Structure 1
Amino acid sequence: MESIGTLPTVETAKKLGLLPEEYDRIQEILGRKPNFTELSIFSVMWSEHCSYKNSIVWLKTLPKDSPRMLAKAGEENAGLVDLGDGLGCAFKIESHNHPSALEPYQGAATGVGGINRDIFTMGARPIAQLNSLRFGNIDLAKTKWLVKGVVKGIGDYGNAFGIPTVGGEVQFDDCYNVNPLVNAFSAGILKVGTQASAISYGVGNPVFIVGSATGKDGIGGASFASEDITAKSSEKLPAVQVGDPFQEKLLLEASLEIIEAGCVIGIQDMGAAGIICSTSEMSAKGEHGMIIDLSKVPTRQPNMQPFEILLSESQERMLIVVEKGREHEAKRIFDKWDLNCEQIGTVTDTKRLEFYQDGVLVADVPADDLVLGGGAPVYHREYKEPAYFQEFKKFKLDSVADLPKEELPKALNYMMNHPNIASKKWVAQQYDSSIGRANRNTNAPSDAAVVKVHGSQKSIVITVDCNSRYVNADPEEGTAMAVAEAARNIVCSGGVPVAITNCLNFGNPYVPEVYWQFVGAIKGMKKSCEAFETPVTGGNVSFYNQSSDEGPVFPTPTIGMLGILEDPANKMTLDFKKEGDAIYLVGESVNDIASSEYVYSYKGIKATPAPHFDLATEQKVHKAISALITDKLIESAHDVSDGGLLVTLAESSFPRGLGFNVTSDAAIRQDAFWFGEAQSRVVVSVDAAKKAAFEAALQTQGVQFSALGNVQGTDMVADGAVLSSVAAAYQSFDTALETALMK
């Protein structure tokens, strides 16, 4: 057994991110003191990023069952859902926050690469990507640098890899000044029954590493992602991986080909923690072991140490267990694609991982004790309601003077130019959204991305949603709203919500107030997912988005939701279609401006509760909108979300340059009516000839609605006053983000 110099101590363990009690537990497991390589193995596999040790007790409470589920939640590289007609959709969202905070270009690029590998290791061909991005104050030079680097990294990698980026979200807030959030989503399609699994079994079966050579980039990346960002974090730049999208494209084709060949026992992406993660998770799942010769791993640098090879997170690599006797098939396929394909070990029945280098045993560890669900530690963390929560609840609407009608044009102009509301065209135009000829939103915008499944009438409908202001104000209700908004976006696009994946971005879990936010978010997600029958297929927890100077980011549980559009004729868009169509609000207007962009930014009042939300009402609205679309009673549908009703109306006006003439409700305050963000509301337009049938349908379903006015002219008219021309409003809305970034 290797023991280079003195065996490491508890102090070494602490430097590697392990707790003293965890070091003691490692000695119990091994029956001896670990050497440095073994201690390094435990440090990454027991990090929060790999083990979910601080979150799993709550993650287990989420709903995970559905007749559509084709893979157990969290047990494969990605979630897998039955679309019907013999087709399945693999989809997942993951974070790459810490790397992006230090090196935004490579941090974001490798986030895209990693999430796509999770999809094609399932045997699915990726067809669409989304992303959810959070940055700090847009006036800061650092924020501008981060935005430009992240967007270029996503665009360069995704465009070169050849998968369209079809949507996403971008939000700015001071709480993200130090810790930006970069969450990447991918979805792919396969034939049911052809999926691959991340498993290893069969004594004597060969173990191959395929794809790129292993270098020193990304070493300790999982541990780095499991600690706060500090002033010294830049010293850990080697923990940031470097990506190669062209190599990934080759790896995609080779991986799908070898899976189709039927000689693969198991396959897993080498993402966080590299070789040690893949060998341990696959072995533990299959209740087998492996003998691995690290000397046979293709490397990019000479004389790499065992721990460096094991922990490297070099990109574009896979671990594959092949059926014995079919090694030549694997070699032939990867040779065809000009990729490394080296046998580095064999499967054993010992349930242990034995790693050798140059004939020397450098580590001998039990696979099961390394992984989630096995021997990895599980903690019940203390949580405590933060003081601000009750303070936010003390907000009184009448403490804010209502918006004078004459100030409405000024307020609208402010809102439409705010970076959280303004067009994200500057971002979107750097992404290829049309490659693959599947994006059905290119000339017909919908609330969610609609992507055709080639060879079928079906489309998948996908979205990423989270308003972190709401979640900060009330974690449980705010997260329930995030799930509801995702479902609402899919429904307004003509789809049926079927499942979610999540990316849970929070601060340090050892801070009781932060952990309280996490617990509340899980509770809110659970009740909303149960209401909409959208089980959780898996996802990612990203803790430690916190700095000593700025504190934690807003709790940001990003929801990635999958829906199905069976009939292409039912695709619904958000744009007003023609003059004379009636405009209605489906849902209820309420006197509420809490946590709206209006009160938070325009009025500068930060301490308010979450917006009005009722889950039962939300369900009724979804059912009603779906029926209206199916019965062809509406021309457009656009949910009321960031910015409120007036912003929603403007966004529906922009695509065709059609104006509107609408009237407010005298019983509702002006600011609440136009800019409040109460949930469960949708703006629809209706052909004049169908108004009676439309109203009768909603009355039958017992859903509240109100007539707002009509599609008319080229001006935005409210209560008889012209607020702006559509053209002028669109010009500033379309260029505001770019203008702010280039100042």
Structure 2
Amino acid sequence: MTVHNDTVSAALADPDQPQPYAELGLKDDEYARIKEILGRRPTDAELTMYSVMWSEHCSYKSSKVHLRYFGETTTEEMGQKILAGIGENAGVVDIGDGNAVTFRVESHNHPSYVEPHQGAATGVGGIVRDIMAMGARPIAVMDQLRFGAIDNPDTKRVLPGVVDGISHYGNCLGLPNIGGETVFDDSYAGNPLVNALCVGTLKVEDLKLAFASGTGNKVMLFGSRTGLDGIGGVSVLASDTFEDGAERKLPAVQVGDPFAEKVLIECCLDLYRAGVVVGIQDLGGAGLSCATSELAASGDGGMSINLDAVPLRAENMTAAEILASESQERMCAVVAPENVAQFREICEHWDVTCAEIGEVTTGKHLVITHCGEVVVDAPAHTIANEGPVYERPWARPTWQDALQEPGEVKAAEDLRQALLDMVSSPALCSRAFITEQYDRYVRGNTVKALNSDAGVLRIDEETHRGVAVASDASGRYTKLDPNMGARLALAEAYRNVVVTGARPVAVTNCLNYGSPENPDVMWQFRESVHGLADGAKELGIPVSGGNVSFYNQTGDEPILPTPVVGVLGVIDDVRRTLGHDLGAGPSPEVIFLLGDTKEEFGGSIWQQISGGGLQGLPPQVDLANEQRLAVLLHGATDVTAAHDLSEGGLSQGIFEMVQRNQVGVNVDLAAVHEDPTTALFSESASRVLVATTLSQADSFQTRAKELGIPVRQIGTTTDAGEGANLDYGVVSIPLVDLLTAWEGTLPEEFGHAVGANSVVE
């Protein structure tokens, strides 16, 4: 059968042919701009390329004007260790001794609603390839997940499939899953958030970037064959809102093969070691459209591509379909002619399909042929870099003042029942149902993962240098105050890294919001960007990159604004990593509370479960206090355990410190705050629980005071074992009762999905 393409010559001969640009997500003025650039109407293939590359997901057309603030607030000193930053596939940080670490977090929200297993699985695959494209070996993944209410029928469909997809892909790749979050809230019903983070390691001199240089250099496409799956996938799904029936858009979701990606990782690393790669780009959102246009636009010439050379797994694909396909496990490399044979040999060794599909040319045009006809002839930079930039209207919502009015804080009339309600709540209950599906220790360099403040990895097996990574967000805090909510997410991720003994060095982010066409949403977004950028500057650590996900809403109802913030820290010797488990040693421990506890319940878990809704202001954070904690805990030798306090407050923090070794504690609540409800459940920021031995207690307290950190001795450990008890003076409760409540919630709700596949009816 003959494939019928719309060619450049046909476009010139029939300039008035109607085209479905609106169906592809382009506005009238955007389509007019494309015709102005080309001096004619676009071909079908060109229209496809411009529509996917100018989509919200690929072009950041609604967020660019605000994202520039990250660059404006990054000082020269902050950026000294950043080898690759904003605009690259992933941020790369020099961590010393010739080692570098790359990390990034990206969304795969809408595909994960449409088809939970494949949406989440290919989200992992995509972020892993971003890391590969920097010249790195991926070494770990994390995930940030948000679903509707725990008892929502659609949550029961989506959550098991998402978790199954993440575990299947990550486990098959042999990458440890070292942490993350799972949050339940009504606002995410119909629009879950699936944010995947990956960490990679490389030598500084092995850094690779996405650019095509050197006239005559060859363009090599390698990895899986190109099919019809994923056409219009992430690039289109991520630029629209969901209406009823959207879960049937299955053809738009990519299909992943983790075993193919595992082989592709090893193949890429061999290609890097052989020195045969000039530039490289992964094929993710927008597929070959993105890879070719971005490589060409970032290089020093143009590019010619022959689609007849692209290995296909479907018959009679048009040029537009080949260019828009988001088939997974594919990479595109620029290779000098003299190295093509060796490139092919390495691919053949790993049984990876590769094809020479074009070459770097003079000029600035991307010229693409199919079936002997020119189907694309356009300036590459106009496709990749010159999408529309919108200054969307933004305004503080009229309802924001009423939302921030102080809400009633209900005192806990029955403290024992309140403690049980907190640990068993969907917000705080055990995530074992989820995390037990992930391999945490594959590759053998995981130091901390399950139920830890941050994931900790050994990077250098000789020096034992390592990194700590944490990611956090609170949509509830951010809804109440978008600027402070972003700062609190940054502060918590920073603090989670600090309590391992690591030194924070860089930030990444994934900013999840509703429609940018809503001025309320754009105000939330702008405020969050400013809060995060200003906060990073105050902490002295740069934002190395990020991702924006808009149109996260069902109909007119946006999700809670959710800025996910990741922080990377460096540990000189992971053998001295701090943990947060009490009772790890033979001696009793003294428990200190660092920081002040205030009546701060806006957006808190206590407000949520006590029926207070969402009201008031979130906790206020002074990032200078976070820096003082970092100085105190970095390299600390007089600390036996350290744990940050955040969601759930002191009650959850104490429980998490005792549950693993099942040790009892005596805690003096009056030393924390005069009101027991505030002492137990306040979520004031910049607080850490620290344990020391009796012999080190005085010296530790002196060190804290010298740094100006409020420090209070609030308790001691008691007997461990079956009789372990949490005694707060005004209330006492057996640890076993809390453990039973904590462990039962998710199995009770999702027991139907144990061992199930990705689709749960």
Contact 1:216/1:308 (<8 A) preserved: yes
Residue equivalent to 1:35 = 43
The 3 A distance-change label for structure 1 pair 8 and 437 is farther
Return the TM-score normalized by structure 2: 0.93
Question: Counterparts of 1:131 and 1:244 in 2: how far apart (Å)?
Answer: 19
How many residue pairs align between the two structures?
732
Residue equivalent to 2:253 = 240
Residue equivalent to 2:609 = 601
Q: Match for 2:218: what amino acid?
A: P
- After TM superposition, the structure 1 = structure 2 runs for residues 575-594 of structure 1, keeping only pairs within 5 Å, are 575-577=581-583, 580-594=588-602
Match of 1:12 among 20, 31, 34: 20
Q: Match for 1:382: what amino acid?
A: P
Per the TM alignment, residue 583 of structure 1 is displaced from its structure 2 partner at its CA by 1.2
Residue equivalent to 1:393 = 404
Identity %: 40
Residue equivalent to 1:636 = 641
Per the TM alignment, residue 641 of structure 1 is displaced from its structure 2 partner at its CA by 0.8
Q: Match for 2:131: what amino acid?
A: I
Question: Counterparts of 2:282 and 2:267 in 1: how far apart (Å)?
Answer: 13
> Does residue 89 of the first structure (1) align with residue 98 of the second (2)?
no
Q: Match for 1:508: what amino acid?
A: S
Question: Counterparts of 1:332 and 1:564 in 2: how far apart (Å)?
Answer: 38
More deviation, 573-582/655-664: 573-582
> Does residue 351 of the first structure (1) align with residue 351 of the second (2)?
no
Unaligned regions of 5+ residues in structure 2, if any? 1-6, 753-761
More deviation, 59-68/283-292: 59-68
SS at structure 1 position matched to 2:742:
helix
> Does residue 547 of the first structure (1) align with residue 554 of the second (2)?
yes
SS at structure 2 position matched to 1:292:
strand
Contact 1:122/1:196 (<8 A) preserved: yes
Question: Counterparts of 2:212 and 2:573 in 1: how far apart (Å)?
Answer: 40
Question: Counterparts of 1:631 and 1:163 in 2: how far apart (Å)?
Answer: 30
Question: Counterparts of 2:577 and 2:217 in 1: how far apart (Å)?
Answer: 48
Q: Match for 2:140: what amino acid?
A: A
Question: Counterparts of 1:53 and 1:513 in 2: how far apart (Å)?
Answer: 18
1:200-253 deviation digits (Å, cap 9, x = unpaired): 011111111100000011111202211111224235321100000000011111
Q: Match for 2:280: what amino acid?
A: I
> Does residue 315 of the first structure (1) align with residue 328 of the second (2)?
yes
Match of 2:472 among 451, 465, 481: 465
Question: Counterparts of 1:540 and 1:716 in 2: how far apart (Å)?
Answer: 45
SS at structure 1 position matched to 2:669:
coil
Residue equivalent to 2:193 = 181
The 3 A distance-change label for structure 1 pair 442 and 639 is closer
Question: Counterparts of 1:685 and 1:256 in 2: how far apart (Å)?
Answer: 43
Question: Counterparts of 1:36 and 1:359 in 2: how far apart (Å)?
Answer: 16
The 3 A distance-change label for structure 1 pair 631 and 350 is closer
SS at structure 2 position matched to 1:354:
strand
Per the TM alignment, residue 9 of structure 1 is displaced from its structure 2 partner at its CA by 6.6
The 3 A distance-change label for structure 1 pair 54 and 67 is closer
Per the TM alignment, residue 707 of structure 1 is displaced from its structure 2 partner at its CA by 1.8
Residue equivalent to 1:502 = 509
More deviation, 722-731/83-92: 722-731
Contact 1:7/1:35 (<8 A) preserved: no
- After TM superposition, the structure 1 = structure 2 runs for residues 23-62 of structure 1, keeping only pairs within 5 Å, are 23-62=31-70
Contact 1:497/1:532 (<8 A) preserved: no
1:369-422 deviation digits (Å, cap 9, x = unpaired): 1123xx2211111101113321122115xx334223xx1110110110112211
More deviation, 79-88/67-76: 67-76
Question: Counterparts of 1:197 and 1:312 in 2: how far apart (Å)?
Answer: 23
Question: Counterparts of 1:166 and 1:73 in 2: how far apart (Å)?
Answer: 23
> Does residue 220 of the first structure (1) align with residue 232 of the second (2)?
yes
The 3 A distance-change label for structure 1 pair 608 and 67 is closer
Q: Match for 1:735: what amino acid?
A: G
Per the TM alignment, residue 670 of structure 1 is displaced from its structure 2 partner at its CA by 2.2
Residue equivalent to 2:626 = 618
Residue equivalent to 2:452 = 446
SS at structure 1 position matched to 2:83:
coil
1:290-333 deviation digits (Å, cap 9, x = unpaired): 11111111111100011000010000001111011221111111
Return the TM-score normalized by structure 1: 0.96
Question: Counterparts of 1:134 and 1:694 in 2: how far apart (Å)?
Answer: 39
Per the TM alignment, residue 631 of structure 1 is displaced from its structure 2 partner at its CA by 4.0
Contact 2:82/2:544 (<8 A) preserved: no
1:681-707 deviation digits (Å, cap 9, x = unpaired): 001112111221122112211211222
1:424-449 deviation digits (Å, cap 9, x = unpaired): 11111101111100111268x63111
Question: Counterparts of 2:398 and 2:79 in 1: how far apart (Å)?
Answer: 42
Q: Match for 1:413: what amino acid?
A: L
CA RMSD between the two structures? 1.8
SS at structure 1 position matched to 2:360:
strand
Residue equivalent to 1:517 = 524
Residue equivalent to 2:573 = 567
Residue equivalent to 1:711 = 717
- After TM superposition, the structure 1 = structure 2 runs for residues 355-434 of structure 1, keeping only pairs within 5 Å, are 355-372=368-385, 375-396=386-407, 399-404=408-413, 407-434=414-441
Match of 2:210 among 187, 192, 198: 198
Q: Match for 2:559: what amino acid?
A: V
SS at structure 2 position matched to 1:514:
helix
Q: Match for 1:741: what amino acid?
A: F
More deviation, 692-701/498-507: 692-701
Per the TM alignment, residue 519 of structure 1 is displaced from its structure 2 partner at its CA by 0.2
Question: Counterparts of 1:708 and 1:141 in 2: how far apart (Å)?
Answer: 43
Per the TM alignment, residue 44 of structure 1 is displaced from its structure 2 partner at its CA by 0.5
Contact 1:211/1:340 (<8 A) preserved: yes
Contact 2:415/2:731 (<8 A) preserved: no
1:459-496 deviation digits (Å, cap 9, x = unpaired): 11011111111111111001011111111000001101
Q: Match for 1:501: what amino acid?
A: T
Residue equivalent to 1:678 = 684
SS at structure 2 position matched to 1:247:
helix
Contact 1:472/1:555 (<8 A) preserved: yes
1:617-648 deviation digits (Å, cap 9, x = unpaired): 2322332333xxx3422211110011111110
Match of 1:529 among 512, 533, 536: 536
Contact 1:94/1:115 (<8 A) preserved: yes
Question: Counterparts of 2:615 and 2:600 in 1: how far apart (Å)?
Answer: 14
